[in-house]
A and B are shown apart, each in its own frame.
Chain A
Amino acid sequence: MGSLYEPSIRESTWSVIGRRISRRFTTLEGWREVGWGVYAMGGSNIRMFSLRHQFDTELFRDHADDVVQTANQQKEMESSQKSLSVGEFRGFDGPMVQIKSDESPGGFSIWQNEKVEQPYHVFDMREKWRLVAIVGAAGIFQALTFNIYLPTLNRIGLVSSHKMANE
């Protein structure tokens, strides 16, 4: 088991976001997590059931998103990130594993120079949120169109048979 407070673990699972009651409500980061989920009490710990990790067939909230991009965009994306990750092949007997390099800042300063000119996207946060809000409004219809219709099924059945009889 890794350390419970290793950031990657804490972010990705609910069961280990256990925080002592005393810490949950007395520290700033405890309060910050309050809005994230549903809680369960257990001993002197409060376990939080995070609502931020939800499986959705349409959205695919795993870490696979960036795979869809082309190699070109991938390069662009990597270049805009501050930290470089170096892919390493472990030959045929070993698995392919990516290892994050811990290069000194001077090590990638050459890379950074060309990157500053090319951010991943130029919209500022306000424009991005406006875009996502419109897209979200558009996304409503997929669930709405199907489900709004369900409670009316009986009536539509009646109407249609009447109509068919009349015509």
Chain B
Amino acid sequence: MNLTITAYLIVQGIAPLFWGPLSEFLGRRSVLIYIFFLYVSSSIVLSFSPNFPILIVFRGLQSASIASTVSVGAAMVRDISLPADRDGFYNLLQGVRNATLLVAPVLGGATSNWANFRCIFVILFALALTVLAAILFFLPETLRSIAGNGTLPLTGIRQPFIWRCKVFGKAAHQNDTLQPGKSPGLSSKEFLEPLRMLKEKDIVLSLLFSSMIYAIWMMVTVSTTSLFASVFQLKEAALGLAFLPNYAGTIAGSTLIGNLLNQDFTRACTAYKRVHSLPSSTKIPRHPLPADFPIEHMRLIRIPALLVIFIIALSLYGFTIQYQSLTSLGGWISIPLLLQFLIAAMAHAICGVHQTLVSDLWSREGCGAASVASTLIRSLFAAVGVAVVQKILLCIDRGPTFLALGLVVIVLVPVQIVQWYWGGKWRRDREAKIGNVALSSSAASV
């Protein structure tokens, strides 16, 4: 039922607004413990799920609890290592995530094929309980205002249980002569920071466009289950496998755009240094980039190609599953799956471009706010998309539905053109304004 997905996505968008600041205030370990406690509790209820309303509510709770684990994990990596050493740690997190994307639908399909679908929640419960135990016993607090660089003594909930048993571990590096660290105060400003971004024209355009693309990808993904079951008579186990090309596309698209963005940045830096006749050893700071750096052009240069492939694949996709005479051909299923691969790869590449662009544009408070804001908008768009896609499919057939979505993307192309030509001007205006504010406030304080 798409209603459960819609509820899940809405909560997933909103929850990071709270978890992010809380992890800076209560500490990473505490927040992870709360997260997994909530998750385990909601999984217990879900493994009974006696009726539909309870399924929706506790699925939402599950979503709320888990929405920020990766961000909290990345924050812990930042706590314990310098940028130069982070690559290895991030690679592990990324690899785990990619593997999960591929395993999850297969596991879900197989489970519900040969057992009750509630077994899925039992599996999730068991896994989460294991992780909760690992966190309780082994994971120390790392928030630098509380734990410093690892030497400040940890107390109470911040201390992993294993440090309390003198047999197994010692409180490794703690210097007991130091005072325990204090958590910083919590202000409502931090909760609202991501929302302040939504006042900026160029950022809103970026978020609007990429969220629309993301929502369309989500519509394709979620509708896969019902469409492929009815068109190709797949059972759940096979349906789980049918998600593989889509998620392989997700991984491929992210990898592609990660490399292209790095390449474009290096090239733009070289060009910038040549124009300003700076020595080639000059290091141009990533945050903030100089005001006359062509950020928009550097980032958006890849969009046209990605968008053309996306629109073509999307418009054709519906028709490849519309006609019985085609779909009954042997091996025909590989064609819509290939198109799904392309749709997923291009959608994630486009979203990657825009998210990088937004984090370039909002350089004031780091990238945390940019990430939270785009997750919020994306998830809300996707929630609406998932809610309506079933209705559209009922009203007009499959082919026209996805063709219409392709037309929607074409209608949105002017957004990108506006951003290409006016984005730089808006950005410089904003930065000039911020500069003035900063100047006047410092003058006032003097």
Contacts and interface: CB of A to CB of B under 8 A. Distances in A.
A164 B51 contact: yes
Interface string B225-257: 110010000001001100100010001001101
A58 B74 contact: yes
B96 A139 contact: yes
A164 B49 CA distance: 12
A94 B439 CA distance: 18
Interface centre among B82, B101, B128, B257 (most CB of A within 10 A): B82
Interface residues of B, number: 124
A116 interface: no
Interface in A75-93: 76-77, 80-81, 85
A134 B270 contact: no
Interface string B47-79: 000111001000000110011011111111111
B222 interface: yes
B120 A67 contact: no
Contacts of B280: 2, 6
Interface string B114-145: 00010010011001100100110011101010
Chain A, interface size category, equals 35 or more
Given A143-B104, A145-B63, A152-B109, A69 B140 contact: no
Nearest to B51: A163
Interface string A83-117: 00100000000111111100000000000000000
A122 B173 contact: yes
B371 A98 contact: no
Contacts of A118: 149
Given A63-B83, A97-B282, A121 B149 contact: yes
Interface string A14-51: 11000000000000000000000000000000000111
Contacts of A6: 280
Nearest to B375: A57
Given A13-B266, A122-B149, A52 B91 contact: yes
A153 B222 contact: yes
B201 interface: no
B5 interface: yes
Given A131-B139, A137-B134, A57 B80 contact: no
A143 to B, nearest CB: 4
A150 B225 contact: yes
Given A120-B82, A136-B96, 7 more contacts: A13-B262, A97-B283, A100-B281, A140-B96, A146-B12, A147-B243, A150-B224
The 4 nearest A-B residue pairs measured at CB: A95-B290, A151-B109, A147-B104, A135-B73
